Structure formats: C-alpha cells, structure tokens
Amino acid sequence: MQGQVGTAGARIDGQATAPFGRSHTLDVLRGLAIAGVMAIHVSQSFPSGVRIVDFVFGCGWVGVNVFYFVSAMTMCLMWTQRAGESDPTRKFYIRRFLRIAPLFWLAIPLYLAVDGTGPSYNAPDGIGPVQVALTATFLHGFWPDSINSVVPGDWSIAAEMTFYLVFPFVIAAFGSRRQLYLVLAIILHLVNVCAFKPLAYAFFTAYYGPGHEAFVWNALHLSFLNQLPVFLTGCALFFGLRDGFAKSDAALFAILIASSFVADRASGSHEFNYLMINLVLGAFVFGCIRFAIRWAPLEALGRNSYSIYLSHFAVIYGLRHVWPLVDGLASLLLAYACTALIAYLLSLATWRLVERRAQDLAHRLTSSSAAPIPRSGVVAARSAA
C-alpha cells in the first residue's frame, strides 16, 4: 500500500505495515540528512565564494533536524513492532546504547588528538577531565562548554541519547494517542522559551563572564529541551501516518504556532523561526514517507549515516591540510565528493570492525537465542539508527 496513509485499522503487529513496512524511505531521509550535514561543514572549510552556492550548502544544518524526525519515527516503529516483548525497556536501552556508544567512544580520543585540548569557541577554558567525562557519559548536552568541544557535532548525539532515555516512558504513557505528543511538545516549547532559556542564559553568562554571550546563547539553542519538541512531533507524525489524521491534529499545530509566536515575542528567545523550520521539515518528512520515496544511493548513505556523521569532520580536517586547489566552486564540489566518498568507505570499515560486533552483542543480550544476527537482519540492524 505504497503512498497511502494508513487508516485507523492499520496496525503494526510483528511485521511492519504501510507506510512503514521496511521503509526504504527512512533510509532515503537519513541519506538526505547526512548529505546536508556534510554540505554545511564542507562549505565552511572549502567556501566557493559564490553567495548562492555557499548559502545552499549552509542550509545543510537542517539535516540534523531531519535525523530527529526519522529517529523518533524509527523508535516508534521498533517499539510497536516489538509489542509484547518481555522487559521491553531494558532491551530498548541495550540496543540503543550498543548502537551509539562504541563508535562514539572511539571518536573521543580521535578528536582529542586531532583538535587538542586548548581553549576554543566551544570550550573557552579548554577541555579537561570534566568535559571528557560528560561527553563519555552522554551528559555533555547539559553543560555549555561540553557541547561540541570534545567531538565535533556531538550536541545532536547528546540530544538523541537523552531522547532514548525518556522515550520508553513517554510511549508507555501516551501509546498511539498522537495528540498527547503534540500537547507535550507545546508545553515544553513554552516552558523552554518563557522560563528555561532566559533563566539559563542569565546564569551561564554570569558564570562564563563578559564576551561569551553568543557562546551561551548557541549552547542553549542546542540544548535537549529546545530539541525535544521536534522528537515529540516526530512521534505524533508516526502515529498520524499509521492511523490517519483528524481536524484536532491541525488545531493543535495551529495552537503550537500561535502560542510560540506570542511567547517568542514576549520572551525574546528567538526560537519561533526554528520551530517553523522544523514544522516545514516535518511536513517534508511526512510527504516523503507518504509517497514512498526511494533512491538507492541515498539509501546506502542513510544506512551508514551514523558512522559518516562521526567521521566526516576528521575527513574534512585531513583534506584541508593536503588540498591542492584554491577556494572556489570547483574546489567546493570536489571536496564535497571526496568527503562523501571517503566517509562512506570508512563507514563500511567501521561496520565490519565495530558496529556489526556491537549489534551481535545487542542481539545476544536481548534474545533468548545466542545465535548471531542472520544476514537477512543485517540491513535492518544498520538502519535502526
């Protein structure tokens, strides 16, 4: 039933049903997301000098938010597919931890060696044991100078892991009642822009002192509380795609937009535009899944997107030091192609050396059988990121 929104009777019972049945579109979306993330970072190191080109490449930051939507939908899909599984929360944590932690822990010493521990924009006082410990325990999203200071781009991994922590409790409480996810998204968004962000900004600007206002503001923008409504909206979209939408859903989205606009103007938090961009991205994700978009090259990128995300920063760093071309459009396009190819090849290696072993361990710890993951399950395991 490709391209058709499920009715209220459509459910996921053991085997996934449309529109999510072994959804290649989720891999396409991951591929688009990582392509965008690479675009912005390559353009920062290899600017073309052509304003419109650099602007388009710079818009690749939205790829992370696409990852958030896809992650929320994937978690809902996995949870509903495994309905009736014994001890689901413990097994969920094991699978998620072993999916994320091994590669991330390998990235920590790599980037400490590459970038050093001295003062930087993301760590004004340098990197010490506190920043490393917070990063290794996935708590770095809660303290400004730990965000992006040890591993580049690790703010999104902090948000992902914190979402995994709360997800079993949220879905156990809300089930498939998508309106509840939207209501919670509205409440948390308003709490963030009206209370948390202003108070946290005052505290951290006093803590770090004059001259660090932009650093603090950016860190609070990247905070989990600011990203959580995106995940919750993704959960609502999953159940809406599966069960169909109602007029009440549109009303809740309208309330979210209107209340955010008023709160943003009253508080000066400047998060309304971010919310609107995310809602547009949510509609884009919805449309791709609705029409079952597929393209093999993007699916391949999407299946390896996590490893590519972690490695492409190092690839760009290496290329910058040996790059023979002067900055320009040709240099940017060639650098992008080289980054994508090298990061993809590295992802194939990390899958064989690290990720497959971690997934085998997760399978053994969460299954009554001690057999390794069969070849037919390899693609599914790689896509569940």
Of 312, 331, 323, 322, nearest to 49 by C-alpha is 331
Question: Is residue 7 very low, low, confident or very high in pLDDT (cuts 50, 70, 90)?
Answer: very low
- The mean-pLDDT minimum among 59-63, 162-166, 217-221, 377-381 falls in 377-381
Q: Summarize pLDDT for 283-325 with one digit per residue, the tens.
A: 999 999 988 899 999 999 999 999 999 999 999 999 999 999 9
Residue 141 neighbours by CB under 8 Å, 6+ apart: 147, 155, 158, 159, 162, 222, 223, 224
Whether residue 11 has pLDDT greater than 50: no
pLDDT of residue 19: 66
Bridge partners, 13 (sequence order): 15
Question: Is residue 2 very low, low, confident or very high in pLDDT (cuts 50, 70, 90)?
Answer: very low
Terminal C-alpha separation, the chain: 25
Q: Summarize pLDDT for 21-45 with one digit per residue, the tens.
A: 557 899 999 999 999 999 999 999 9
What mean pLDDT do residues 58-71 have? 96
Total-model pTM: 0.89
Characterise 244 by phi-psi region: left (phi > 0), alpha (psi -120 to 50), beta (else): left
Measured distance CA(350)–CA(322) in Å, rounded: 24
Q: Summarize pLDDT for 324-373 with one digit per residue, the tens.
A: 999 999 999 999 999 999 999 999 999 999 999 999 999 999 986 544 55
pLDDT of residue 95: 96
Cβ neighbours, 10 Å, residue 123: 21
pLDDT of residue 82: 87
Measured distance CA(209)–CA(100) in Å, rounded: 35
Q: Between the CA atoms of 263, 264, 268 and 273, what dihedral angle is there, to the nearest 10 degrees?
A: 170
pLDDT of residue 56: 97
Whether residue 376 has pLDDT greater than 80: no
Q: Between the CA atoms of 270, 275, 281 and 285, what dihedral angle is there, to the nearest 10 degrees?
A: 160
Q: Summarize pLDDT for 222-262 with one digit per residue, the tens.
A: 999 999 999 999 999 999 999 998 889 999 999 999 999 99
Question: Is residue 18 very low, low, confident or very high in pLDDT (cuts 50, 70, 90)?
Answer: low
